[in-house]
Chain A
């Protein structure tokens, strides 16, 4: 089984360091637990019970306290050095810069560039090139959220009114799952995102594809869908190259290329796409996507157009 959401199957430098630190802690605490069990077992099953042994015990308790202090000292040091090495991961390499904004209950992802025309905005997916550090600036629009990509790094909260950041350095290709880790309301359970670690070539291809505007609709059904998307849907969603400029919901310019829908809840296939448009409150109760009154044909048309947005 491929473990796509696990802190003990590291796929990046940060998670490797914390996973190693966990092994150290497990070893040391396991040793102390064993000592306690041994002493307890001896205390329970001891045969010859003498008297006036408190002097012996006084010496032992001093030794025990010293041992605990030593163990704690070692673990604190281990923790400190792990913290240091986390801070220096990927030093020297130019990171790619990403800004993520969390909101109830999805993630906006912005790939930043010195050239504003090369900025990419997407949602609920994080494409990362293998072996190159990424610096993610984190903000929240409404309540506190927390970004946790366990295979890559520990979590970091996103707090309204503050900017925090997080760094990752992926070392294994793969498709991982990340999830909000701070309770953020009704659909906290359905606030995930896809993390795709790609080869530099794949990543560059994705990046250039993502810079393109949406293609024009060709079939009659697609055209009908285009009218709906740039009409009823445009209050909330943006599709680059069209009159849809909404910023409330996720950018849909390349929605068909994403792995999932509704922040990791649904597989991105036609049947789910249609259901999601038809009844967002049934699929994800409380979601801020309203149920737009559309006929069945309208829904099919909208989905047909969205499927062209690769």
Chain B
């Protein structure tokens, strides 16, 4: 019998062999033990969209309350919980996870590898995220949801002014989501730097990979700040430390510095992946490589760096020294330069390409218009004297919904439409998709544009009601009407996706005639992604014709090709861990510990003991050279 890893081993026999090697156990057990990045990524995306729906319902409740002045529909206590939950859910359970989720699905395919790095950690990351989200929402239903905002400023969130468990739940949710996000970031960085297809040197990487690389590094540098901040908070609340208590030598502003050192990069952690979506979509539908590849890469990297120097612009009203003000004003405005250059490059690609007006590209157009408006109001709030008027008013609410919805959700919806055939094998319905773009665009602006004016007219944020006659009534009503139409447009999108799962047109491997490697395998891709690892000669490999392949990876065991960091030269072959239940059990133990620790600090002690067995068994050493194909190693 010929070798099962040689170039002449092809055809159905090869696929059968690979399918056997890379398959999950059948049934429910397979569903819970899977480490396939596509299955994990898919459920990650679906879960994030469920949280988008839940956060959206909260938004509608707020808009109902604010539709009329002096409304008594929702009590102050409930409203404060609702807006805290809306922000927390959207930031921590939707926006960041959904971007990582898309990357978890797409990056290994785009890089031309068979599996993400650290697949069990990936499964663990998903379970922790899921349990954290359930933990928050169950607490909310039990009336112990967060009440001090998604930002939990102390002393309001401290033990004296937020007694009870509500803020503990918030602080511990942070721990959940940060663990999940950090795990994802490490996998993605490793996959991008070490598992690229041979020949895909850094300067041939798709722009989406660059944006995920930068985002993942930002997660690694930003998240520890908020974990530290929330750990201080929870120990102030739980064991009586005084980090934030000014009467005992602590400092109320320390929280804000730590929180925004994370919180500002967080915004770019959400936005930069969207830059990647937009670049991939633009490339495919203008039928040209995005104009100014090196500029785009530099822009993303410089945004990633600058994002860490701007946190103080969330604190202009706290009374910091004036010299600092000028520095942060200049730094905050500077970020408009790389942003502006990116916008130019996308429009230039459309200008010089041969655009096909498919739905994903229409989402890009909606993105460009909306995001530029949000970016320009961002320049306004960067100016200290202006910000002192605009800060914490509805103007800021308008601004960041323009950048977050316009800048990240529109590209995300475009991306889902674009990669839907890859995820499911079927296309989303047309021309419904195009009408969907138009409806969402109009409804979005109807909702959020009036808020600029309400803010300039003096309406502060986070108020559960407002008096009649201040000139805010009509504007608020418009926003509320717009919010419901916008929600309808999102429902339309979800409806389209769900019905297209069954009824959509069959897609084939590369329905859009795109250039990047994820379009090489069938749609949806087989468990092993690539039968042979493709070799990459340019930035647009699939436009060069059928790519050459590199044989030599084992087919009877899960094996990956590891390449060098810069040039992507084949380096070593490495084993990839097979499915296993321990990540789930480790996640359950972690969840018990995190949940217990909001009631007693001793939970950290016995919780650690509880976590030890699944972790030990997860990492139990196996001989990687052991020939039996069922055996795992990691």
- What is A's interface to B at a CB cutoff of 8 Å? 1, 3-8, 15, 17-19, 21-22, 25-26, 29-30, 32-33, 36-37, 39-40, 42-44, 46, 49, 53-54, 57-58, 60-61, 64-65, 68-69, 72, 75-76, 78-80, 82-83, 86-87, 104, 142-144, 146, 148, 150-151, 153-157, 159-162, 164-165, 177, 179-189, 285-286
Contact = CB atoms under 8 A, between A and B. Distances in A.
The dominant DSSP class at the B interface is helix
Given A36-B368, A44-B365, A156-B319, A179 B460 contact: yes
B471 interface: yes
A165 B319 CA distance: 8
Interface of B: 75-77, 80, 148-149, 153, 155-156, 160-161, 246-247, 251-253, 291-292, 295, 317-319, 322, 325-326, 329-330, 333-334, 336-337, 340-341, 343-345, 347-348, 350-355, 365, 368-369, 372-373, 376-377, 379-380, 383-393, 456-466, 470-471
Given A44-B365, A72-B334, A183 B153 contact: yes
Contacts of A65: 337, 340-341, 344
A159 B253 contact: yes
Given A7-B389, A155-B388, A285 B75 contact: yes
Nearest to B378: A29
A160 B345 CA distance: 48
Nearest to A147: B317
Given A44-B355, A79-B383, A82-B385, 18 more contacts: A6-B456, A6-B471, A29-B380, A32-B372, A33-B376, A40-B350, A58-B292, A60-B344, A61-B291, A61-B344, A61-B345, A72-B337, A75-B333, A87-B322, A150-B458, A155-B391, A157-B318, A162-B246
A158 to B, nearest CB: 9
A18 B380 contact: no
A228 B379 CA distance: 56
A143 B155 contact: yes
Given A18-B389, A285-B76, A285-B77, A8 B352 contact: no
B464 A184 contact: no
A172 B156 CA distance: 36
Nearest to A19: B389
Contacts of A87: 322
A162 B319 contact: yes
Contact of B348 (A1, A17, A57): A57
A7 B453 CA distance: 10
A20 to B, nearest CB: 10
The 7 closest A-B pairs by CB, nearest first: A154-B388, A161-B246, A43-B351, A189-B463, A5-B458, A29-B376, A79-B383
A36 B457 contact: no
Contacts of B344: 39, 60-61, 64-65
25 contacts: A3-B471, A22-B386, A22-B389, A25-B380, A25-B383, A36-B372, A43-B347, A57-B291, A58-B292, A65-B341, A65-B344, A76-B329, A76-B333, A143-B153, A144-B155, A155-B317, A155-B388, A157-B319, A160-B155, A160-B252, A181-B392, A183-B392, A183-B461, A185-B156, A188-B462
Contacts of A285: 75-77
B85 to A, nearest CB: 14
Nearest to A61: B344
A157 B315 CA distance: 9
Contacts of B388: 18, 153-156
